[in-house]
Amino acid sequence: MRRWLIGVAAVIAIAAPARAGTHITFVTDWKAQAEHGGFYEALAEGLYKKAGLDVAIMEGGPSVNVPAILAGGAADFGIGSNGFIPLNMVREGVRVKAVMAVFQKDPQVLITHPRKDVTSLAAMKGKPIMIADASRVAFWPWLKAKYGFSDTQIRKYTFDLAPFLIDPSAIQEGYLTSEPYTIAHEGHVRAQVFLLADNGYPGYANMVLVPEKWIRSNPEAVEAFVRATSAGWKDYVFGDPRPANALIKRDNPEMSDGLIADAIARMRSYGLVASGDAARMGIGAMTEARWQTFFQTMASEGLYPKTLAYRDAYELRFVRAGGLAMAPASK
């Protein structure tokens, strides 16, 4: 039997009221998809409006650079896909902070065909792996440090699934809520999926980024956005996602019902939204300990100077204040 720990109404009531009609343009990191579902749900259900906010979602895409858009003021808030985004902004002197983390687990995966010789990440050592250029300075150094991978294994991933589908020995990177479904339904391959986060890869994902000037000048609006977004994600993943899905398909007509349903199911089954810190603090939670672990792990691999003021990458007050939505829990 399942129960709701905190209802939507309670979440919104706890948040400090924003100034009436505060407008926020929120830019996403890709075309509308299930990974943005909670934001669309909060918009569709009027949760932002109830919190005193006038929110407009700006759809991202392959040519959309969220950090540059926020730095230039073309949008107010935005999505940080992973922990590297806010840390890179600190390194570049851009005054933007992560204020909540929707995904407690980074959805980054490695994918193989069904094969008996690869049943773990460790078993991939020495084997060719297709990764994108950006991944060389993201999860790849962690794989090298933990499992002894080497750069000689790297093959270029161009986001074309054809090389993987035609080669039974292929291994490639992917996103838990995207490539496995496409591989199964277009390539008719029931792939093996290895979630890096379930093997110790640290860091949050799908974070809300807010410029420091907003945090200083209108913290009530930031808090209201965090609370309403948390409630939206609870409803999307554990309630009725149809209001958000209608808006997602409006913005991105190429999005299929099947992919959306599969993504939501994986968010639930893998605990992307409700595990980790969110299990005890609510959806969107972040902690100093998790951020410290992520930074120290990446700094030890040379991705950042160990003297970087990494704490400037995040602001915890909005998730510490209480009132984040809790996912359903079993009795």
Q: What is the pLDDT of residue 321?
A: 80
Across the beta sheet with 53-58, the strand order is 53-58, 22-27, 77-82, 205-211, 96-103
Backbone angles phi, psi at 240, to 5 degrees: -105, 110
Could you read off the pLDDT of 38-67 as tens digits, one per residue? 999 999 999 999 999 999 999 999 889 999
Tokens of 163: 């090389």
pTM attached to this predicted model: 0.92
Q: What is the pLDDT of residue 329?
A: 75
Planar angle of CA 85, 56, 178, nearest 5 degrees:
50
Name the residue with higher pLDDT: 81 or 10.
81
What span, in angstroms and rounded, lies between the C-alpha atoms of 289 and 297?
Answer: 12
Which domains are present in the chain?
Answer: 2-104+203-330 (3.40.190.10), 108-199 (3.40.190.10)
What span, in angstroms and rounded, lies between the C-alpha atoms of 15 and 67?
Answer: 27
Q: What is the pLDDT of residue 322?
A: 78
